[in-house]
Amino acid sequence: MPLEFTRQRSAETAGIRAEIGAAPTGIPADALVVFLTEGGVGSGVAAEVDRATGGLLARLAAAGELTGRRYDCVSVLAAPGVAAPQILIAGLGKREAVDGGVVHRAAAAAARLLAGRPRAQVVFAGETWWTPSQVEQAVAGAAVGMVGQDLYRAEAKRTPFGTTIWTGVAAGSVGSGAAIAAGVNLARRLVNTSPDDLYPASFADEAATIAGRTGLEIDIWDENRLARERCHAILAVGRGSARPPRLVILRHRGTTGRAADALPALALVGKGVTFDSGGLSLKPSDSMLTMKMDMSGGAAVLGAIATIAALKLPVDVVAAIGLVENMTGPAAYKLGDVITARSGTTIEVHNTDAEGRIVLADVLDVVRGMKPGRIVDVATLTGACMVALGHDVAGLFSNDQPWCDRVAAAARAVGEPVWQLPMYPEYDEQIASDVADIKNVGDGRWGGAITAAKFLERFVGGIPWTHVDIAGPAFAEKPRPWTDGGGTGSMVRPLVELARGG
């Protein structure tokens, strides 16, 4: 593995701390980040900096240089009265529209710009009017924004700060924000890793390392165990690859009793297709290019449960990640194959590129056997979901409206947009097979995200379940103000919020 790989890994836990009671203008640092809403310097930290600099910010605002527009970042050098040689003013937009997602992205945008060259110490001045949850999301945003996609570059485009200091906000929220960022950056690193380096066994090794570090219980099923456990669906998809599949099961026992036989309250399930060539239903080259990201659901689940453990949340959570590489080798599964999934349900294969639902059939069945109170699965499942909702919005599908509402609320609380699609029973007709219990695609492409969810529903055994299709938001093909692009860590923050009961 390249050296950069190790270097980037340390950035997931970079030094972030709170300094309570200190005036942000007085702290020696390479840069000071201040947040600004639209409509002038107001009464917060920007006003404080304005006073310290003899009205500099107000003059810049009057001249139209400083607007406070969302994610606009304005740099002011060598301002009098400020210890740091550079002030970066990050726009939050209209104050009444500020939420966890806005502060997260604004902090990330500021950090991304400053991380364009090495900085030993950067001070972020939080606002007293932010809620503890918003502080957390801002802290997480700054730590996520300073990490780019540099795993394999000789010269990194972003250098994480040596130390990040947050002022004006509670130390507890700074600590939890840093833990959340570590989970997001972990997921992003796994997504951004070349599929030649990240395959089922190496993903499982990563999970084992994380488990060792955070105190999670871990069980890894290799191909022999998968065969003994009748996971023929996972094995079928994996057969075309020289790299055998894995199932990773992680457990966080956060409830006071910690009884070994206690049932998990929450199960997180992730699609971990480490590369999706489409199999014999081969993808065109253009669509295949980014398919290292097809394990983003698995990465999100791993990042989330690692954070849940780091935060010692008082909840019993299990995570299960189905890891396969979908390839076209001589033993590859074929169109017309009938697979008997672990549950006994038979699946007729009409398209080997609809592999994620086949893998998840067995993962969901394993999880169902653990009798969790609720299930949420995260998967880059369908291009159809992107046709429906675009790049930024995840699709929600559920057999239980209250549970779906809670997943949606958790996502929105941290600023990840989601939208529910319907699960009318009529869609079930589309996955009826002439020769087996079900087939792995619908009739034609219409409603493809829903027929995929309908397929998954067959394997959850009536347990309250919500499926999150992150085909759009998991990967940013182009840079945005708050990210260099690549893996986004989509759904890590919502899953952590969900485990908190949010």
Residues binding ligand BES (CB under 6 A): 276, 294, 351, 353-356, 380, 382-384, 441, 448, 471
- Binding of Zn ion by 356 (CB under 5 A): yes
CB-wise, 111 or 471, nearer to ligand BES? 471
**Contacted entry of Mn ion, Zn ion, ligand BES, none for residue 174, CB cut-off 5 to 8 Å set by kind:** none
**Contacted entry of Zn ion, Mn ion, ligand BES, none for residue 373, CB cut-off 5 to 8 Å set by kind:** none
Contact partners, residue 320, CB within 8 Å, separation at least 6: 247, 248, 249, 250, 267, 268, 269, 270, 301, 363, 366, 367
Q: Identify the residue whose tokens are 């239980």.
A: 400
224-256 exposure pattern, b = at least 16 Cβ within 10 A, e = fewer:
eebeebebbbbbbbbbbbebbbbbbbbbbbbee
Q: Hey, which residues does 439 pair with through a beta bridge?
A: 348
- Binding of Zn ion by 365 (CB under 5 A): no
In the complex, minimum distance from the CB of residue 250 to ligand BES, in angstroms, rounded to a whole number: 23
**Contacted entry of ligand BES, Mn ion, Zn ion, none for residue 348, CB cut-off 5 to 8 Å set by kind:** none
DSSP one-letter code for 478:
S
CB-wise, 276 or 484, nearer to Mn ion? 276
Query: Which span (8-16, 289-297, 339-347, 443-451) binds Zn ion, by CB under 5 A?
Result: 289-297
The C-alpha atoms of residue 272 and residue 259 are separated, in whole angstroms, by 29
Q: Hey, which residues does 317 pair with through a beta bridge?
A: 252, 266
- Binding of Zn ion by 377 (CB under 5 A): no
345: its two tokens: 């349900």
**Contacted entry of ligand BES, Mn ion, Zn ion, none for residue 384, CB cut-off 5 to 8 Å set by kind:** ligand BES
Q: Hey, which residues does 318 pair with through a beta bridge?
A: 251, 267
Of 229, 35, 6, the closest CA to residue 138 belongs to 35
Of 189, 198, 207, 137, the closest CA to residue 487 belongs to 189
Q: How many residues bind to Zn ion according to rule CB under 5 A? A: 4
Segment 294 to 313, residues that bind Zn ion, using CB under 5 A: 294
- Binding of Zn ion by 273 (CB under 5 A): yes
CB-wise, 147 or 291, nearer to Mn ion? 291
Query: Closest residue (Cβ) to Zn ion?
Result: 276
In the complex, minimum distance from the CB of residue 184 to Mn ion, in angstroms, rounded to a whole number: 25
Beta carbons within 10 angstroms of residue 501's beta carbon: 12
In the complex, minimum distance from the CB of residue 401 to Mn ion, in angstroms, rounded to a whole number: 29
Check if 228 is active-site: no
Query: Closest residue (Cβ) to Mn ion?
Result: 353
Query: Closest residue (Cβ) to ligand BES?
Result: 383
CA dihedral 54, 55, 59, 60 (to 10 degrees): 90
**Contacted entry of Zn ion, Mn ion, ligand BES, none for residue 91, CB cut-off 5 to 8 Å set by kind:** none
CB-wise, 247 or 441, nearer to ligand BES? 441
**Contacted entry of Mn ion, Zn ion, ligand BES, none for residue 272, CB cut-off 5 to 8 Å set by kind:** none
In the complex, minimum distance from the CB of residue 348 to ligand BES, in angstroms, rounded to a whole number: 13
The C-alpha atoms of residue 409 and residue 494 are separated, in whole angstroms, by 9
**Contacted entry of Mn ion, ligand BES, Zn ion, none for residue 382, CB cut-off 5 to 8 Å set by kind:** ligand BES
Contact partners, residue 221, CB within 8 Å, separation at least 6: 229, 231, 246, 247, 248, 249
Chain residues in the site for Mn ion (CB under 5 A):
276, 353, 355
3-state secondary structure (DSSP) of residue 374: strand
CB-wise, 149 or 326, nearer to Mn ion? 326
CB-wise, 223 or 325, nearer to Mn ion? 325
In the complex, minimum distance from the CB of residue 382 to ligand BES, in angstroms, rounded to a whole number: 4
Catalytic residue among 9, 230, 283, 412: 283
In the complex, minimum distance from the CB of residue 382 to Mn ion, in angstroms, rounded to a whole number: 9
Alpha helices in 64-170 (DSSP H): 100-114, 132-145
**Contacted entry of Mn ion, ligand BES, Zn ion, none for residue 471, CB cut-off 5 to 8 Å set by kind:** ligand BES
In the complex, minimum distance from the CB of residue 246 to ligand BES, in angstroms, rounded to a whole number: 18
In the complex, minimum distance from the CB of residue 28 to ligand BES, in angstroms, rounded to a whole number: 46
267-295 exposure pattern, b = at least 16 Cβ within 10 A, e = fewer:
bbbbbbbbbbbbbbbebeeeeeeebbbbb
Q: Name which position in 12, 50, 127, 276 contacts Zn ion (CB under 5 A).
A: 276
Catalytic residue among 292, 357, 374, 454: 357
In the complex, minimum distance from the CB of residue 475 to Mn ion, in angstroms, rounded to a whole number: 14
Check if 283 is active-site: yes
CB-wise, 31 or 341, nearer to Mn ion? 341
CB-wise, 129 or 446, nearer to ligand BES? 446
Checking 423-429 for CB contacts under 8 A at 24+ apart, the result is: 423/397, 423/398, 423/399, 423/450, 423/453, 423/454, 423/457, 427/451, 427/454, 428/454
CB-wise, 344 or 444, nearer to ligand BES? 444
DSSP string over 279-336:
TTSPPPHHHHTTGGGGGHHHHHHHHHHHHHHHTT-SSEEEEEEEEEEE---TT---TT
Distances (CA, A) of 314 to 211, 212, 306, 496, 499: 17, 19, 14, 12, 9
CA neighbours closer than 13 Å in the CB half-sphere of residue 211? 20
48: its two tokens: 């404080």
**Contacted entry of Mn ion, ligand BES, Zn ion, none for residue 150, CB cut-off 5 to 8 Å set by kind:** none
User: Would you please indicate which residues are annotated as catalytic (active-site) residues?
Assistant: 283, 357
In the complex, the residues that contact Zn ion under the rule CB under 5 A are 273, 276, 294, 356
